[in-house]
């Protein structure tokens, strides 16, 4: 049984020489400057930068939102009306019985 050795990188690249490690450790570290003169505080996304563009645009957006709400309310009401009609005619029970019996 033979084994093969595969070298991925030379050892010199993985472990730096002792002199180089000492040189890196001897470099003095400086503290980061906290108050940079050109530093601007970060603006938050949830705060508006200024006044709204116009009152008419806001009114139009509000009307569109109200229209979408009314359409959704009408669709939900129609769905409940159809469901109540199906429950009165026992159509749902008939479909459930067919599904239990395995009829297609």
- Residue 84 domain-assigned (yes or no): yes
Query: pLDDT digit string (tens) for 48-101?
Result: 656 656 888 888 999 999 999 999 999 999 999 998 888 888 877 888 888 888
| Domain limits for position 102 | 70-104
Q: pLDDT value at position 81?
A: 93
C-alpha closest to that of 92 among 83, 101, 100: 83
- Residue 88 domain-assigned (yes or no): yes
- Residue 78 domain-assigned (yes or no): yes
C-alpha closest to that of 72 among 64, 83, 82, 60: 64
Q: pLDDT value at position 87?
A: 81
- In sequence order, what DSSP letters do the residues of 24-67 get, joined into one string? HHTSPP-PPPSS-TT--PPPPTTS-SSS-S-HHHHHHHHHHHHH
- Residue 40 domain-assigned (yes or no): no
Q: Which of 19-23, 35-39, 85-89 has the lowest mean pLDDT?
A: 35-39
Domain count, the chain: 1
Residue 6 in this model has a pLDDT that exceeds 90: no
- CA 87 to CA 28: how far, in whole Å? 82
- Residue 75 domain-assigned (yes or no): yes
- Residue 89 domain-assigned (yes or no): yes
- Residue 103 domain-assigned (yes or no): yes
């Amino acid at each position: 049984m033979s084994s093969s050795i595969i070298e991925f990188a030379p050892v010199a690249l993985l472990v730096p020489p002792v002199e180089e490690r000492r040189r890196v450790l001897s470099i003095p570290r400086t503290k980061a400057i906290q108050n940079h003169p050109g530093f601007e505080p970060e603006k938050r996304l949830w705060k508006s930068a200024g006044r709204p563009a116009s009152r008419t645009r806001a009114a139009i957006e509000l009307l569109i939102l109200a229209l979408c709400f009314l359409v959704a309310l009408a669709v939900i009401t129609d769905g409940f009306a159809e469901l109540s009609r199906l429950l009165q005619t026992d159509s749902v029970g008939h479909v459930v019985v067919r599904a239990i019996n395995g009829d297609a």
